[in-house]
Copies of this chain bind each other. A is one copy, B any other.
Amino acid sequence: MFEKKVYLQRRAALQSKLNSGILLFLGNEDSPMNFKDNIYHFRQDSTFLYYFGINEPSLAAVIDLDEDETILFGNEMSIDDIVWMGRQKTLAEKSADSGLSKILPLDQLDNYLKKYQDKNRSVHFLPPYRPENIIKLTNWFNIPTDQIKERASLSFIKAVVAERSIKSPEEIAELDRAAAISADIHLMVMQQAKPGMYERELAAKIQSEALASGGNLAYPVILTVQGEILHNHYYGNQLKEGQLVLNDSGVETALGYAGDLTRTFPVGKTFSAEQKDVYDIVLNAYHHAKDLLAPGVRYLDVHLASCKILAQGLKDIGLMKGNIDDAVEAGAHSMFFQCGTGHMMGLDVHDMEDLGEQYVGYTDDLVKNTTQFGLKSLRLGKALEEGYVLTVEPGIYIIPELIDRWKASNQFAEYINYDKLETFRNFSGIRVEDDFLITDSGSRMLGKHLALTTDEIEAIRSEAY
């Protein structure tokens, strides 16, 4: 946990933004794998972690805005718990570390909430993403399970988003650490990969290093020779000379802060000329985006500018054609780049995603485009502020199914050179990604430098095996 004053300040800042009623915070439960007691590793809810810092299951908390009272609901360990799980700090000790003085047994939460509802006072809750918490809210408030999310409190959501979006110095230190550890692991992978290995062997090394660092993975490893598959969690391919390995992986620190890095490197010692050409297009887009980062700049504009660099590069090698500005406006480049240039990052790798992308990444005046292929996957569009942490991650992905689909309807034929594209059908994909903090005048990369240019990567690969 951070120092006690951090949590006191965070809760005080939140209270100052909201008027009346009670704020209900639900921690996470253990998640079962194949039976109740065989569980996945525990991950606390990030908002609960942010305001209370207590990293254990089956907790809830309320802030009564009118009475200015904060209560933690949870149970101390029984002797049976101690036999099976060992003696940890007591809940009372952990609460004290979080600056909390009032703890009630978990089963009193029902009555506490009922008392509030009877008085017609409002209970604010955040949109739940864990089904256990959907069940709890359904039972407390008598709302059907499929309507719970829309009944979440917009003022509560907005206040939390506003606060969590601006990273404090102690959070930036954690995010720096997460990015640095992630960079070390990426370097290790780049040094150890060799032809004949299976993807899962490298994915396993990454997982192992994340755990050994004292934290865990921030998200499931993407480690694949099919980099064109954006969220690929299949690790069954054998690495072959000539292929590219795309490694998108990052750790979260013990306190829960994420790193999120991607590098793409050759299975062999060198990139082919064609791979190098495409890599350099992606790297240009990366540098262009990164150089634009500054307070006041809309990330949507960073994204579109970066997409134009991608599209111009693709035109230079004959895969796109026509007017590039028009092509990007129409969305033709999303044949090659189907997703967004980046997203907010913090306690969640896609920070606060389940509080609503519209609130995290957009504004009332800048509404997310949820229809255009490509733009609908851009999680962040609004103007940047000092203290934001986000990724920059352009890429080029050649997806055979998408070629077939679009070609069949001759989609964007004025911008896409389908004949040439067929010769790239099995190219796979390239992505480059780093994490950035928005500073008062621009941005700073988090963590440490990790081989970025094809020369730097080939220098590492030349000593790899």
Interface residues, chain A, CB within 8 Å of chain B? 28, 31-41, 43-46, 79, 82-88, 129-132, 134-135, 138-139, 144-146, 198, 200-201, 203-205, 207-212, 214, 219-220, 226, 229-236, 338, 347-350, 352-354, 399, 401-402, 405
Residues of B within 8 Å of A232, CB to CB, are: 85-86
Residues of B within 8 Å of A207, CB to CB, are: 204, 207-208, 211
Residues of B within 8 Å of A82, CB to CB, are: 399, 401-402
16 of the cross-chain contacts (CB-CB < 8 Å) are A31-B40, A33-B43, A34-B43, A34-B45, A35-B348, A35-B354, A40-B40, A41-B233, A83-B229, A84-B230, A85-B232, A131-B132, A135-B145, A204-B208, A204-B211, A207-B211
Residues of B within 8 Å of A135, CB to CB, are: 131, 134-135, 145
Bound complex: CA A230 to CA B229 (Å): 41
Residues of B within 8 Å of A32, CB to CB, are: 129-130
Bound complex: CA A145 to CA B148 (Å): 15
Residues of B within 8 Å of A338, CB to CB, are: 83
**Interchain nearest-CB distance for A77 vs B (Å):** 9
Bound complex: CA A226 to CA B88 (Å): 13
Q: Is the CB of A79 within 8 A of B402?
A: yes
Q: Is the CB of A353 within 8 A of B37?
A: yes
Residues of B within 8 Å of A79, CB to CB, are: 401-402, 405
Residues of B within 8 Å of A45, CB to CB, are: 34
A-B contact sample (4 more), CB < 8 A, given A38-B219, A82-B401, A207-B208: A84-B231, A134-B135, A201-B212, A214-B236
Partner of A145 from B34, B139, B210, B226 at Cβ < 8 Å: B139
Bound complex: CA A46 to CA B353 (Å): 31
Residues of B within 8 Å of A44, CB to CB, are: 34
Q: Is the CB of A229 within 8 A of B38?
A: no
Residues of B within 8 Å of A35, CB to CB, are: 46, 129, 348, 350, 352-354
Residues of B within 8 Å of A130, CB to CB, are: 32, 131
Residues of B within 8 Å of A219, CB to CB, are: 33, 38
Bound complex: CA A149 to CA B405 (Å): 46
**Interchain nearest-CB distance for A322 vs B (Å):** 23
Bound complex: CA A348 to CA B211 (Å): 24
Residues of B within 8 Å of A203, CB to CB, are: 211
Residues of B within 8 Å of A210, CB to CB, are: 204
Bound complex: CA A443 to CA B425 (Å): 56
Instruction: Give the 7 A-B CB pairs with smallest separation, nearest first.
Output: A208-B208, A86-B229, A131-B131, A204-B211, A204-B208, A35-B354, A204-B212
**Interchain nearest-CB distance for A172 vs B (Å):** 20
Partner of A354 from B36, B85, B131, B347 at Cβ < 8 Å: B36
Residues of B within 8 Å of A236, CB to CB, are: 214
Partner of A350 from B37, B209, B214, B349 at Cβ < 8 Å: B37
Bound complex: CA A174 to CA B207 (Å): 25
Residues of B within 8 Å of A211, CB to CB, are: 200, 203-204, 207, 235
Residues of B within 8 Å of A40, CB to CB, are: 31, 33, 40-41
Bound complex: CA A132 to CA B145 (Å): 10
